[in-house]
Amino acid sequence: MKTKLVLGAVAAAVAVFSQGAFAQAASSPTRAEVKADAKKGALAPAGEATGSVTPGKASDKTRDERKATTKADRSAGKLAPAGEATGSTAPGKGSEVDRAARKADTKAAVKAGKTQPAGEAATPSSEKPMK
């Protein structure tokens, strides 16, 4: 039993150490090979880019053509205003009810018991508050 255990351990150790020796011998190029590749320009440029280094042309118009189109659109009023806002840029008017009317409505609701007591959790309007 001990012999099998020892033989198994020796076999495992040989397998582990022999893999490193084979991988090291075959994987790395020599200094001369690296220099020759660098002179040929076969190496990728430094950095993390994996694809094409130069960006693709997205537009088929020249800069002057784009500027002329923008200028014509501006004079015709077709350009959208700058920024991210969509829709109206005027601030909202606020409430349609004046202060006195709001106060009167609130007083009537308090008198009728329709308001939520301070510090209580909100309950649906269909349920009566528990006392």
43 — pLDDT class (breaks 50, 70, 90) = low
Q: Exposed (0-12), middle (13-18) or buried (19+): which is 82, by Cβ within 10 Å?
A: exposed
pLDDT for 131 equals 58
Would the pLDDT of 1 be above 70?
no
Cβ proximity of 45 and 38 under 8 Å: no
Q: pLDDT (tens digit, 9 = 90+) per residue, 77-128?
A: 888 877 766 666 666 677 788 999 999 999 999 999 888 877 777 666 566 6
Q: Give the helix, strand, coil percentages of the chain, each rounded to 5.
A: 50, 0, 50
55 — pLDDT class (breaks 50, 70, 90) = low
Q: What is the pTM of this model?
A: 0.25
Q: Residue 29: CB partners within 8 Å, gap ≥ 6?
A: 37
Would the pLDDT of 59 be above 90?
no
Looking at the chain, the whole-number percentage of residues with pLDDT higher than 70 is: 62
